[in-house]
């Protein structure tokens, strides 16, 4: 087990300043030049930036029937399934975020990983039961936990060159900003039937349409001004003001949801409709916890096919978190002089346990969230902020209808502002070395373009190893990177391999 600890603040015997209390010393609040006010504001900012997962995850995995035609937990209807998934999503996010705060002692919140839940719903549950699919997630989490305990995961992180770590931070900044622009509706996917090769475009048909986009732009400009003026609570103020504006706009102009009877409404709210719910309090249904079958998937689709699913989940989880942790730590200025994350073993251990817990709770794999950048932008520097964020998730189990008031358009300006700020680290990359520039470019650009941190990092590592080899500097490549590059090559070639083995 990793035993590194946050440096203690020495007791001041000179009377020059007040000695920090026990909570301050444990979390290193003063040591990291923070205070309780910043940590609390940061905790609130992170929660509101990622609270959408309480609504979105149920829509992704709670509405899809498995290979046997059953919804999660054997629910009799989609609304029942959505309610069950929403409850365990909030519970897992709350408990795991608090655990990360207490054990990891960094302001990194945890919740269900987007992308992996979609992969589970579309590609895995279609081949087996939900219990068997969640069982494979549980196994994947156990494997990653073992890799942390044996210090393999930490060793791989330390083996990554500093320039590539910087590119990870830049890429995550681009990714966060892109997520904010897409979730707000400012940037949208161009329909295939539009007869164009452009994958995304501005608003609808190249124009900004609808009242919700007014909320986003208002929040973006207001938050940018407040951040520029160094106003305390800038991100929280921006979110709160935008939410109030959204409620007023919905009451007066009634844009409504973006999907009605299965048909898209471009001028509607992207996810949450900001209206006061009829019921503010609802009792959570936690019956999905433990409803898993760890080994049934091997019998259902075969050992090789099941192992390929576990491998795909594991590699994405393994490197998504690495990129997120390094990027967030760099933004919070918590990296040491060697560009490493102090005490990263604790962080990776909790994150690995979160992956396994996601399978056990039937929520899909849980992971460290890049939206934690919103809290860091508000001043959070320690795990105390996680106590606030996690507590709000636990409360959200009972007031889920009230949480849904905050629309994407009110929360996403914070992601854009923080994401753009993270990109400033690009100046630390050595642009005089092509063998560094190209891998860094691929790492940073492919993260938002592929909507995957792991894809960007994988492309960067493979390219780095290849270019260094042909540059005649193969000895400079850490031995672990050769193995990692080979694993990523297998990851990218997963489909051809499955077809070749007859399991595609």
Residue 205 class from Cβ within 10 Å (0-12 exposed, 13-18 middle, 19+ buried)?
exposed
- For β-strands 110-112 and 366-368, DSSP reports them as antiparallel
Alpha-carbon 385 to chain mean position? 17
Residue 77 class from Cβ within 10 Å (0-12 exposed, 13-18 middle, 19+ buried)?
exposed
Alpha-carbon 156 to chain mean position? 21
Helices and strands (H and E) in the chain: how many: 21, 6
Q: Under a CB-based contact definition with an 8 Å cutoff, are residues 91 and 286 in contact?
A: yes
Q: Which residue has the tokens 């409504």?
A: 256
SS3 169: helix
Number of Cα atoms under 13 Å in the Cβ half of residue 69: 0
* Structural element, H or E, at residue 263: strand 263-264
At 302 the pLDDT is 83
Q: Is the dihedral of CA 393, 447, 349, 288 positive or negative?
A: positive
Q: Distance between CA 433 and CA 429 in Å, rounded?
A: 9
DSSP state of 276: -
Per DSSP, the residues of 108-166 read --EEEPTTHHHHIIIIITTTS-HHHHHHHHHHHHHHHHHHHHTTHHHHHHHHS-HHHHH
Nearest CA among 34, 47, 42 for reference residue 389: 47
User: For 212-271, what is each residue's pLDDT tens digit?
Assistant: 999 999 999 998 998 888 787 787 788 889 989 999 999 999 988 887 877 888 888 887
Degrees (nearest 5) of the Cα angle 209, 215, 221? 110
Nearest CA among 180, 174, 172 for reference residue 416: 180
At 376 the pLDDT is 92
How many residues comprise the chain? 504
Per-residue exposure over 403-428, b if at least 16 CB sit within 10 Å of its own CB, e if not:
bbbbbbbbbbbbbbbbbebbbebbee
What pTM, to 2 d.p., does this model score? 0.73
User: For 389-402, what is each residue's pLDDT tens digit?
Assistant: 999 999 988 876 66
Between the two ends of the chain, the Cα-to-Cα distance in Å is 39
The tokens for 495 are 């489909």
Nearest CA among 344, 332, 296 for reference residue 66: 296
Nearest CA among 433, 480, 428 for reference residue 166: 428
The tokens for 240 are 């709160």
Bridge partners of 188, per DSSP, are 201
Listed as ranges, residues in the chain with pLDDT below 50 are: 1-5, 7-16
Q: Distance between CA 201 and CA 213 in Å, rounded?
A: 14
Alpha-carbon 6 to chain mean position? 25
Q: Distance between CA 126 and CA 309 in Å, rounded?
A: 13
At 296 the pLDDT is 92
Per DSSP, the residues of 445-485 read HHHHHHT-HHHHHHHHHHHHHHHHHHTT-GGGS-HHHHHHH
SS3 207: strand
């Amino acid at each position: 087990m990793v035993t590194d600890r946050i440096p203690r603040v020495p007791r001041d015997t000179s009377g020059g300043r007040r000695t920090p209390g026990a909570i301050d010393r444990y979390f290193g609040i003063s040591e990291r030049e923070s205070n309780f006010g910043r940590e609390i504001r940061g905790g609130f900012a992170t929660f509101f930036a990622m609270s959408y997962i309480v609504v979105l995850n149920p829509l992704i995995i709670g509405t899809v029937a498995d290979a046997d035609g059953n919804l999660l937990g054997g629910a009799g209807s989609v609304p029942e399934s959505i309610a069950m998934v929403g409850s365990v999503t909030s519970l897992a996010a709350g408990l795991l975020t608090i655990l990360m705060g207490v054990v990891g002692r960094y302001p990194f919140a945890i919740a269900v990983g987007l992308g992996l839940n979609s992969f589970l719903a579309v590609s895995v549950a279609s081949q087996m039961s939900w219990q068997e699919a969640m069982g494979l997630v549980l196994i994947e989490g156990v494997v990653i936990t073992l890799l942390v305990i044996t210090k393999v995961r930490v060793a791989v992180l330390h083996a990554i060159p500093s320039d590539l770590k910087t590119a990870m931070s830049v890429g995550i900044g681009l990714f966060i900003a892109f997520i904010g622009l897409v979730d707000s509706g400012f940037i949208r996917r161009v329909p295939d039937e539009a007869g164009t090769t452009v994958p995304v475009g501005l608003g609808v048909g190249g124009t900004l349409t609808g009242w919700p986009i007014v909320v986003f732009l208002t929040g973006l400009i207001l938050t940018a001004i407040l951040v520029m003026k160094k106003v305390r609570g800038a991100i929280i103020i921006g979110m709160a003001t935008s939410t109030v504006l959204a409620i007023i706009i919905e009451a007066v102009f009634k844009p409504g949801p973006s999907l009605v009877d299965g048909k898209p409404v471009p001028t509607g709210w992207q996810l949450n409709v900001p209206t006061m719910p009829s019921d503010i309090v609802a009792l959570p249904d936690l019956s999905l916890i433990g409803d898993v079958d760890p080994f049934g998937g091997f019998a259902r689709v075969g050992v090789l096919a099941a192992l390929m699913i576990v491998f795909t989940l594991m590699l994405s989880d393994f490197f998504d978190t690495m990129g997120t942790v390094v990027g967030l730590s760099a933004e919070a200025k918590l990296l040491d002089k060697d560009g490493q994350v102090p005490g990263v073993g604790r962080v990776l251990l909790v994150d690995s346990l979160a992956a396994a817990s996601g399978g056990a709770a039937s929520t899909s794999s849980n992971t460290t969230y890049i939206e934690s950048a919103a809290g860091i932008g508000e001043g959070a520097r320690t795990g105390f902020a996680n106590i606030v964020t996690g507590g709000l998730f636990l409360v959200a189990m009972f007031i889920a209808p009230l949480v849904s008031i905050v629309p994407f358009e009110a929360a996403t300006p914070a992601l854009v502002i923080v994401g753009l700020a993270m990109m400033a680290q690009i100046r630390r990359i050595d642009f005089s070395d092509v063998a560094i520039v190209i891998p860094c470019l691929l790492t940073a650009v492919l993260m938002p373009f592929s909507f995957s941190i792991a894809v960007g990092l994988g492309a960067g590592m493979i390219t780095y190893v290849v270019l260094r080899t042909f540059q005649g500097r193969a000895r400079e490549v850490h031995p672990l990177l050769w193995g990692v590059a080979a694993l990523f090559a297998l990851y990218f070639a997963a489909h051809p391999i499955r077809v070749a083995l007859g399991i595609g």
